Structure 1
Amino acid sequence: MTVSQLPVERPAVDHDAAGSRTRADRSAANPGRWVTLGVLGVASVYFLAPVWWLVVSATKTNSALFTTNGFWFGGHFALLSNLHDAFTRQGGIYVRWLLNTALYAGGGAAVSTAVSALAGYALAKYAFRGREFAFNVVLAAVLVPQPLLAIPLYLLFSPVHLVNTYWAVLIPSVVSPFGVYLSRIYAAASVPDELIEAGRMDGAGEVRIFGTIALRLMSPALVTVFLFQFVSIWSNYLLPALMLASDRLQPVTVGLVGWQAQRGIGDAVPFNVVITAAAVSVVPLVVMFLSLQRFWRSGLVAGSVK
């Protein structure tokens, strides 16, 4: 046996250690990754700090709000008493505000989602004169800030006596240009023309095809439309503040601002009660996001991959 044929003993290689060194070297060679993580960390603190302050402040008495650290709990846990005061103040008007907000947000978002689904499907799957012009108008409407429309809407509703009624808030809420845009993009990407033609050959009408085929395929985008419109209506302040004068018709956003504006009045609502009521008003939005997150995540990327 020659020297070249002798077995050569190779050192054992620790693959885990080698992989760790490779990842560490890659991270060290890519400082942009750490910059990105740092920016994301700062952004997370920026957005979560007000939420944490709201949760902590809802557990304090009115005096503790001004004498203790704003980002940590006080000595006395007053959440239950704050909730009791919020729900019983002024004859329980806060409950009425929550119900009004649920009506505006739930009803407006449901009708808006249905309108968006119909319009988006028609723009995506039917060829008619003026289709591109109509879609361009929708795109232009997406760019218009909603507060700019509040005063024109008031001037339109006032002559027909819709001001200070439920319809003054519900009617503007049933149209969502962003919902029409997203529905159109998702219908074009997820509803095959071959499937529609197969339904027509089987004798199904257009309404049945839309209800049994297209609507199911478009459901992730429609959940996203519903969620975004629900949040937009729930947090809207300018339109209901301009349209509604009666306390019994106001949503929770307008009502809480009215409570907060009572500073200096004899029977003013304490700050801790206002803060607790504001914290409670956020809970439905959190529940909605958590329960529908798997749908709206896929809906947000609608049309990105075909």
Structure 2
Amino acid sequence: MTTTLQPAPVRPVTAAPKPRRRIALLPSAVLLLGAVYCLVPTLWILIGSTKSRSQLFSTATYLPSFGSGLVDNIKGLSSYDGGVFWHWMLNSFLYAAVGGVLATSVSAATGYALAKYQFRGRTVLFNAIVAGVLLPQVVLAIPQYLLLARVGLTDSYLAVILPQLFNPYGIYLSRIYAAAAVPDSLLDAGRIDGASEARLFRSIGLRLMVPGLITVFLLQFIAIWNNFLLPFVMVTSDSKFPLTVGLYSLLRHGSDQASLYSLVITGTLLSVIPVIALFLCLQRYWRIDLVTGGLK
């Protein structure tokens, strides 16, 4: 008696149920709240600068004016006290540009040395520099003032630039970037060819660290541009004020003259434009670095 084997019945294959997309409501709400928190003051400044002196307190807060209020405010700000606002902006640019370049140079040299040289106490020194990030400027402002007053440098441009040359966070970023971007084999090849350490730093280290140093410069430029406490403590002459201290002095005068509030709001709006322009100009270097990193 023979038996025939019958194939097992084929069960239909059903697609696995797709997991439902769950929307994280809490992170989205926090992100939205943070965006509103950042945009609302900026929107208020933008709208307030379009209003005339009479409209500033008589119209709705977020109702813009479509007249010539912005142009009139810019003209009034330019003519105030002989155009001192533009002198303040030039001072801010001088402080931020010179201080940013010098501080970036110090950070590049220090970070490169900490990343590429072995010496006693390197770890302790690096940890001390990183700990400097935790110190607030309020703690350092008075000792820095006393030190510069002893050598007669207060109420000068150097009094604002010198204390900001040593940037612990910039040194930290430079050290991390130098360790990742500058290969030791390339430095060893240069030493075999007879290049000095200074030439290796200029010709190899700095060139490979340029994208990271641009980030350090941008952060330092913005920090100096927005710094209020240090120039407020160091400088007493109106001709040496940066924008932050100058607009604060203009706001104090506005407590007696309400018409100056429009000029302060317009000056605040104009003070943001150079930072935005600098960010847009330097952004392409970050894109180039990302493209070259992808090609490698």
TM-score range, shorter chain: 0.7 to 0.9
Q: Residue 117 of structure 1 is aligned with which of 108, 118, 139?
A: 108
- When residues 269 and 109 of structure 1 are mapped into structure 2, their CA distance, relative to the original with a 3 A threshold, is farther
For residue 297 of structure 1, report the CA deviation from its aligned partner: 8.3
Residue 165 of structure 2 aligns with which residue? 174
Q: With structure 2 as the length reference, what TM-score do the two structures score?
A: 0.87
**1:263 maps to amino acid:** G
Which residue in 2 is equivalent to 1:31? 23
1:262, 1:269 within 8 Å by CA — same for their partners in 2? no
CA distance, structure 2, for counterparts of residue 296 and residue 100 of structure 1: 28
Q: Does 1:254 align with 2:245?
A: yes
In the alignment, structure 1 residue 81 sits paired with structure 2 residue 81: no
Q: Tell me by how many angstroms 1:247 deviates.
A: 0.3
Letter in 2 for 1:270: L
Q: How far 1:138 moved relative to its partner?
A: 0.4
| Residue identity opposite 2:234 in structure 1 | M
Superposed displacement of residue 256, structure 1: 0.4
Residues 264, 45 of structure 1: alpha-carbon distance in 2 compared, 3 angstrom cutoff: closer
Moved more, 175-184 or 290-299: 290-299
* Residue equivalent to 2:283: 293
1:279 is aligned to 2:269:
yes
Secondary structure of 2:52's aligned partner: coil
Paired residue for 1:303? none
Q: Which residues in structure 2 correspond to 1:194-205 (within 5 Å)?
A: 194-205=185-196
Give the secondary structure class of the aligned counterpart of 1:62: coil
2:212 aligned residue: 221
Give 1:123 deviation, angstroms.
0.4
- Separation in 2, partners of 1:46, 1:72: 19
State the TM-score, normalized to the length of structure 1.
0.85
Of stretches 68-77 and 36-45 in structure 1, the one that deviates more from structure 2 is: 68-77
State the secondary structure of the residue aligned to 2:56: helix
Q: Partner residue of 1:99?
A: 90
Q: Which runs of 5+ in 2 are unaligned?
A: 1-11, 290-296
| Residue correspondence of structure 1 range 226-237 to structure 2 within 5 A | 226-237=217-228
Cα displacement (A) at 1:165: 0.9
1:149 has 2:143 as partner: no
Amino acid at match of 1:283: I
Aligned equivalent of 1:212: 203
- Contact 1:221–1:298 (8 Å) recurs in 2: no
Aligned-pair CA distance for 1:269: 5.4
RMSD: 2.4
Distance 1:245 1:71, change over 3 A: same
The offset of 1:74, in angstroms, is: 2.4
Residue 51 of structure 1 corresponds to 42
Structure 2 residue aligned with 1:41? 32
Cα deviation for residue 48 of structure 1 reads: 0.8
C-alpha deviations, 1:214-255, integer Å up to 9, x for none? 112111211111011111111111111111111001101001
2: CA distance, partners of 1:264 / 1:89: 16
Deviations 1:188-218 (A, max 9, x none): 1111111111111222221221112111211
Q: Distance between the aligned counterparts of 1:157 and 1:269, measured in 2?
A: 38
- Partner amino acid, structure 2, of 1:26: R
> What residue identity is the alignment partner of 2:209?
M
Please say if residues 98 and 251 of structure 1, whose CA atoms lie closer than 8 Å, have aligned partners that are also in contact.
yes
Q: Within 5 Å, which residues of 2 pair with 1:176-191?
A: 176-191=167-182
Cα distance change of structure 1 residues 112 and 288 upon mapping to structure 2, 3 Å threshold: same
* CA–CA distance in structure 2, aligned partners of residues 255 and 297 of structure 1: 36
8 Å contact kept, 1:56–1:71: yes
Greater CA drift, 217-226 or 114-123: 217-226
**Are the aligned partners of 2:145 and 2:154 in contact in 1 as well (CA < 8 Å)?**
yes
Query: Do 1:179 and 1:225's aligned partners in 2 also have CA atoms closer than 8 Å?
Result: yes
- 1:72 and 1:205 map into 2 onto residues whose CA distance is 64
Residues of 2 paired with 1:95 and 1:131: CA distance? Answer: 45
Q: Is the 8 A contact 2:99 2:221 kept in 1?
A: yes
In the alignment, the residues of structure 2 paired with residue 241 and residue 184 of structure 1 have an alpha-carbon distance, to the nearest angstrom, of 32
> Aligned partners of 1:269, 1:101: CA distance in 2, in Å?
25
Question: Unaligned stretches of 5+ in structure 1?
Answer: 1-9, 11-17, 300-306
Task: State how far apart, in whole Å, the 1-side matches of 2:288 and 2:222 are.
Answer: 18
